[in-house]
Structure 1
Amino acid sequence: MGLTSKTVLALATVLAVALFALTIWLWPRLGKRSIGSVLSRVGMLLVTQLSLFAAIGLYANDSFGFYASWADLFGQEQEQGVVVDHSAADHRVQVVGYEQVNVPRATVPRVAGRIEKVNIQGPESKIASPAFVYLPPEYFQPQYANKKFPASVVLTGYPGTAEALIKGLHYPTTAHKLAKEKKMQPVILVMMRPTVAPPRDTECMDIPGGPQTETFFTKDLRKALSAQYRIGTKAANWGMIGDSTGGYCALKLAMRHPNAYGAAVALSGYYKAPIDPTTGALFGEGPDKKKLQQENDLLWRLKHKPLPKISVLVTSSKQGEHNYHDTMKFVELAAKHPTRVSSMILPSGGHNFNTWRREIPGALQWIGGRLSA
C-alpha cells in the first residue's frame, strides 16, 4: 500500500487509538516496582507515541502532499526517465492518463474541462518529468476550436507532489470557477514539481555538471507543450506560479528569461537559493561559482542587472511569514520601469496550504489578466 493511501492512514489511526487504549487498560497491572514492569511501561509509552506520530505524519502528508511514495520519503527516488513514444520523433509529450475536475458534470470535458497526466521529454536538458495539464472547458468547445490559449506552469514547493496542486490547493477547480464567473480568461495550467531530477533539490538551476533544470523549464517544457496543445509560443502567452521553492523558481525563471515567461507569481517565495544537503553544491566549485551565486540571488539581480520587461506578483503575511521583510525589499527594488510589480500582503498567515488557498484566487485572476492568448 502506498504512502498516500487512505487505507494506510486509516490503519495507522486505528492502531494508534488501539495502542493508546491498551496502554491505559494495562497501566495499573504494570504498577509493580520491578525492572520488568518499568521496562514494560517505557516500551508501551514508546510504541504508543510512535504510532501517534506516524498517524499524525501520514495525515499531514495526505493534507499537504510532502511526499508521493515510500521511496520518495526515504530518499530512494532516483528515477529520472519516463516511457516515451519513439514512433514519432516530434512527440515529446506522452499522455498517460486522465483525471476529472472536481466540478459538476465532471465527465463532460466541454463543461468541466479535463486534467491530463503527461510525461514530458526534454531533448535539450536531457530531463524527463511527469506533469498534470488542466485543460479548461473552452478548450473542448467548438467555438474555440481554432483558438490558442495562454498557459501557466504551476509549481509546488520542495519536495511537494504535483497531486497536491490538484487535491490540496485546488488549482483546477478554482480556475474553472473564476473563468465561469468571468473573473479570469481560460488558462491552461501545467502542474508539476520543481524537483524534475529527484531526489535532488535543484532550485531550478542549470547545475554545473548536474541536472539542467533551468533549460528544461525555459526551453524544453514550453516547446513540447506548445506542440502538443493549442498554446501560444511567445513569452506573453506563458506565466508561472509557485509556492515556497516554486515561488522562487517562478520569479527567477521569469527574471532571467523574460523571453520565455512574461508573468510570474511567488506565493511565500524566497529570493536566494539555499545550500543544504538536499541541494548539494548548486553553483559548483569552479571559478564561476561566485558569479552563479550572485546571478541566482534575486535581490542582487535587481540592484546590478537591467530590469526585465515582465510582470511579477509576490505574496507574504505581516505575521507568520519569514519572507515579509525581503518581500517588501523586493517590491521596492522591482517597482521600476519596465518591470511591473504587484503584491498581496495578508495581515497574518503562514508557510502552509491554508494561506496559499487564500491567495490562489487572486493570483489566478492576476496572472490571467496579464497573459495574452
Structure 2
Amino acid sequence: MSGVVITSGWVVGLLIGLTVAAAVATAAFWDRGRFRVVHRAIGLLLVQLLLLVSLAAVINQQANFYVTFGELFGQGSDTYAQTLPAGSPRLSADGGGAEDLDRWLAEHPAVPGRGTVIPATLAGAATGYALPSHIYLPAGYRGDGRDLPVVMFLAGYPGTVYSWLDSVGVGAALDEAIGAGRLPPVIAVMAEQDPVRGRDSECVDSVHGSRADTYLSADLPEVVHRHFRAARSRESWALVGYSTGGFCAVNLALRHPDRFGAAGSLAGYFRPLIDRSTGDLYEGDLELRRANDPRILIGRPRPAPVSLFLTAGLDDRTALRDLRAFAPLVHAPDTARIVADRPGGHNFTTWNAVLPDLFAWLTQRFGTSGATAA
C-alpha cells in the first residue's frame, strides 16, 4: 500500500468518484430509516471528509508534493521505481545506459522549437544511489556539436523531479527564452535530491549516512558529462532551487566552488535546518553543521568566487526576511543579484514570474554564446 502512486489519475478519480457516490447516497437515504439524525450526520461528515481528501489529492497532483502513500505518511524508502515511465533509461558514469538513451531518443523525435525532456535514472558511482531525474535538451541539440552549460534545478520539500516542469513550468519557459535568444542553449537537469523517499536530505552528507551532497556534486555531474555534451568548466555549471532547493543550491555552490560557479535561490533560506522532515542530520556535530551553513561559508576564503541570484516575493515574509539578512554578507569577489521588489508569496506562480530575471542573470554568467566548441 505504501508504494501506491497517489498522483496517478486513477487514484484521484477514485477519490472524486467516492465523494460523488457518498453525496448521492446521503441524499437518497436522507428521509429513510429510524435513526435519521444519526445517518444524516454520518453522511454529511463522510461527504465533507471525502471532499477535503479529493481536493488535497488534486492539489497534490498539480504541485507534485508527494508521490506515494508511504511518502505522504513519512515512511521513507530508497526505491524510486514507480516515479518514472516504463522504459526510461538508466545512465551511469561508466557509459551504462547509452544504448537505452539512444533508443529513447529515437522513439521520441524532437519537435521543432521545443526542447526534449528525458526521464532518466542517474546511477552514481561514489554513492551507489540510482535516483530519478529529468534531462532537458534544448531545441537543435541533436544537430549541434557544442558543449553546453548546465543548470541543475532542485525542488523544495516536499517536491519531486516533476515539480520544476509541471508546477513551475520551467520547460516551456526555457523553450521560449532560448528560442527568443534571451538565454543561450543550456542543458537542464531536474534532479532528485533526497536519497530516501519522504525524508528531506537538505542536500547534505549527514551523520546518519545519507550522502545527498556527494550525489549531487560528484556523481550526477559525472553521469551528465558521460552521456551529454556538457561543458566541464565551473563557469558553465549553475544550481537553482526554490524553497528548500534554494538552500541546497547556495550551500552546494559555496561548498564546491570548483564545480559550480553560480547559484540561484528562489525563496530559499540560508541556515541549516533540522525538523521533523529532516531528522537530526548533524547529531550534535557542530563542525558539520557549520560546514553546511551558508551564513558562515559566504565569509570563508574560497579558491574561486560564486555568483548568486537571490529572490523572494514581497508577500513571502519569512523568505524575504532571510534574504535581507543574508544579502549583506555577500562581498567581493562574490556577487549577488537581488530581486526583492516583486509581488507574490511562497508559491509556484511567483517563481514562474521571476524566471525571466533568472534567465537574464544566467546569460550573464554563461556568456552570450553559452557554449564551447566540441
2:85: which partner in 1?
none
Name the CA shift for 1:330/1:127 in 2 (closer, same or farther; >3 Å): same
Quote the Cα distance in structure 2 between the aligned partners of 1:16 and 1:280. Answer: 36
* Post-superposition offset of 1:107: 4.4
Q: Deviations over 1:227-250 (max 9, x none)?
A: 111101111111111111111100
* Post-superposition offset of 1:19: 2.7
Name the CA shift for 1:81/1:59 in 2 (closer, same or farther; >3 Å): closer
Quote the Cα distance in structure 2 between the aligned partners of 1:347 and 1:368. Answer: 21
Quote the Cα distance in structure 1 between the aligned partners of 2:10 and 2:246. Answer: 33
* Post-superposition offset of 1:278: 2.2
Q: Deviations over 1:242-285 (max 9, x none)?
A: 11111110010011111111111111101112212221221134
1:240 counterpart letter in structure 2: L
* Post-superposition offset of 1:125: 2.3
Which of 342, 346, 359 is the aligned partner of 1:364? 359
Equivalent residues in 2 for 1:139-154, closer than 5 Å: 139-141=141-143, 144-145=144-145, 147-154=146-153
Root mean square deviation, CA, Å: 2.8
Name the CA shift for 1:84/1:355 in 2 (closer, same or farther; >3 Å): closer
Quote the Cα distance in structure 1 between the aligned partners of 2:161 and 2:249. Answer: 16
Name the CA shift for 1:222/1:292 in 2 (closer, same or farther; >3 Å): same
| Secondary structure of the corresponding residue to residue 240 of structure 2 | strand
Q: TM-score, normalised by structure 1?
A: 0.86
Tell me whether 1:338 sits opposite 2:333 in the alignment: yes
Q: Deviations over 1:25-67 (max 9, x none)?
A: 544557x7xxx33432331122112110111111111111101
Question: What is the count of residue pairs matched by the alignment?
Answer: 355
1:103: which partner in 2?
none
1:351: which partner in 2?
346
Tell me whether 1:124 sits opposite 2:126 in the alignment: yes
Quote the Cα distance in structure 1 between the aligned partners of 2:76 and 2:295. Answer: 33
2:257: which partner in 1?
258
Q: TM-score, normalised by structure 2?
A: 0.86
| Secondary structure of the corresponding residue to residue 369 of structure 1 | helix
Quote the Cα distance in structure 2 between the aligned partners of 1:290 and 1:181. Answer: 48
Contact 1:154/1:192 (<8 A) preserved: yes
Contact 2:151/2:188 (<8 A) preserved: yes
Q: Deviations over 1:288-345 (max 9, x none)?
A: x11222222222333x5236501111111222331111101211111x2111101222
Quote the Cα distance in structure 2 between the aligned partners of 1:67 and 1:295. Answer: 30
Contact 1:158/1:201 (<8 A) preserved: yes
Percent identity of paired positions between Structure 1 and Structure 2:
28
Quote the Cα distance in structure 2 between the aligned partners of 1:344 and 1:188. Answer: 24
* Post-superposition offset of 1:17: 3.6
1:354 counterpart letter in structure 2: T
Tell me whether 1:75 sits opposite 2:78 in the alignment: no
Runs (4+) of structure 1 moved beyond 6 Å? 81-86
* Post-superposition offset of 1:139: 1.0
Name the CA shift for 1:62/1:85 in 2 (closer, same or farther; >3 Å): closer
Quote the Cα distance in structure 1 between the aligned partners of 2:76 and 2:274. Answer: 20
Quote the Cα distance in structure 2 between the aligned partners of 1:353 and 1:85. Answer: 29
Quote the Cα distance in structure 2 between the aligned partners of 1:220 and 1:272. Answer: 25
1:306: which partner in 2?
301
Contact 2:89/2:119 (<8 A) preserved: no
Contact 1:265/1:367 (<8 A) preserved: no
Which of 296, 306, 311 is the aligned partner of 2:292? 296
